[in-house]
Amino acid sequence: MNIPFMKLAAAVAVSLLALNANAEARFPVDMPKPKEGQLVHIPPTMEDLEKSDFHPELKRVIRRGYDLFMNTQQLRGKNVFNNMNCSSCHMGEGRLPYAGPVWPAAVTLPAYRPKNDHVNNLEERIAGCFSYSMNGTPPEYGSDDMLALAAYHQWLAKGVEMFPSKPIYGRGYPKLDDPQQKPDYARGKQVYEAKCSICHSNDGSGLVQNGKVVFPSVWGDASYNWGAGISRHFTLAAFVKYNMPLGQRGTLTDQEAWDVAYYINTQERPQDPRYTGDVKETRAKYESTFHKFTSYGESVNGRLLGNHDNVGEKPFLKPEVLKPRTFTAN
């Protein structure tokens, strides 16, 4: 082989490596690859923000949004009543495909959401995760914190067209194929105890050290409530498959992910904020849009799940924003 060719080959190899390293830094390479016709977006980073020519005041607002997203615990007792940060479920700073990237909300809303049966904007979507996933109540619409969080989402969406017509690669936690065997509590418990309890603990409570959440709770009073999107078995199974165990993503089989998701989501957690006072009635009311995917109001191992008034650490059941809303203007 002649020398110039080898040099060229080496140069190509080096630049490919650099490309991969760059992709690795921004997107882990072990995620499923994009399919033909999907919209692929690599969100900008906070470093990119510092380098941008945005007004310093706008940079300040976006930085605050990032800080709230990564350390939402600073709002504990005010807006957050469990031990989650937004980044506990939206991994990689809310930028990663298959890990609940948050920027799609900035380009697909306003939109009609069956979950609450009206048109939602970005603030209201963020409010949803505060009400259910954080078992709390959102910062007020138009407040500094809401402005900052929304700005961070919009920054991540930089360059993407509004209302894109292509399906978005890696949006949410893309659904796994149906499990070969019906998800099973005992098998799920085995997976949990072998691969998860070391961090999330045997009783699901996780680990809080010196007031800092090291490992978030996967069930119990300090976890997400019965109305949270991740309490749906298929959503949790996909989250786990693509994101857990932390640092060993993708090592569970699909069946193990379904089983452990079933085990976690058949433990107790704070009441669904839409609770009517009767678990069967609440399940029936939201069955078709939501609870057909959860075990809320079902009997598992002789326990009727969600049959209690426990709202976790918050001093109320239903945040103001969950009251029904109708658009009345013509």
Long-range CB pairs of 111-118, under 8 A, 24+ apart, other chains included = 114/289, 115/289, 115/290, 116/322, 116/325, 117/289, 117/324, 118/325, 118/326, 118/327
Binding residue for ligand HEC, selected from 42, 198, 284, 304, defined by CB under 6 A: 198
Tokens standing for residue 8? 């060229």
Q: How many CA atoms lie within 13 A of 276 on its CB side?
A: 10
Q: If you ran DSSP here, which 8-state letter would residue 93 be given?
A: H
* Close Cβ partners of 121 (under 8 Å, ≥ 6 residues apart): 109, 110
Rounded least distance, CB 110 to ligand HEC, Å = 12
Say if CB 225 and CB 132 are below 8 A apart: yes
Binding residue for ligand HEC, selected from 62, 196, 237, 305, defined by CB under 6 A: 196
Task: Tell which positions 58-77 bind ligand HEC, by CB under 6 A.
Answer: 72
Say if CB 201 and CB 215 are below 8 A apart: yes
Tokens standing for residue 100? 């609940």
Residue 216 vs 297, nearer CB to ligand HEC: 216
Rounded least distance, CB 179 to ligand HEC, Å = 15
Tokens standing for residue 137? 């109540």
Number of residues counted as binding ligand HEC (CB under 6 A): 47
Q: Does 235 bind ligand HEC (CB under 6 A)?
A: yes
Rounded least distance, CB 40 to ligand HEC, Å = 15
Q: Which stretch binds ligand HEC (CB under 6 A): 30-38, 123-131, 287-295, 317-325?
A: 123-131
d(Cα 194, Cα 251) in Å, to the nearest integer?
13
Residue 125 vs 283, nearer CB to ligand HEC: 125
Rounded least distance, CB 9 to ligand HEC, Å = 39
Helix (H) or strand (E) holding 113: strand 111-113
Binding residue for ligand HEC, selected from 260, 305, 311, 321, defined by CB under 6 A: 260
Question: Which amino acid appears at position 298 of this protein?
Answer: E
Q: Which stretch binds ligand HEC (CB under 6 A): 7-15, 45-53, 157-165, 237-245?
A: 237-245
Alpha carbon 263 to its chain's center = 19
Residue 10 vs 40, nearer CB to ligand HEC: 40
Q: Which stretch binds ligand HEC (CB under 6 A): 44-52, 223-231, 271-279, 287-295?
A: 223-231
Q: Does 321 bind ligand HEC (CB under 6 A)?
A: no
Q: If you ran DSSP here, which 8-state letter would residue 230 be given?
A: G
d(Cα 10, Cα 157) in Å, to the nearest integer?
36
Tell me the CA distances in angstroms from 147 to 28, 68, 175, one per residue in order.
Answer: 30, 11, 31
Binding residue for ligand HEC, selected from 102, 151, 156, 311, defined by CB under 6 A: 102
Helix (H) or strand (E) holding 118: strand 118-120
Q: Does 242 bind ligand HEC (CB under 6 A)?
A: no
- The interface mask with ligand HEC, positions 136-175, x = CB under 6 A, is -------------x---x-----------------xxx--
Binding stretches for ligand HEC (CB under 6 A): 72, 84, 86-91, 100, 102, 104-105, 108, 125-126, 129-130, 133-134, 149, 153, 171-173, 195-196, 198-200, 215-218, 223-224, 228-230, 235, 239-240, 244-247, 252, 260
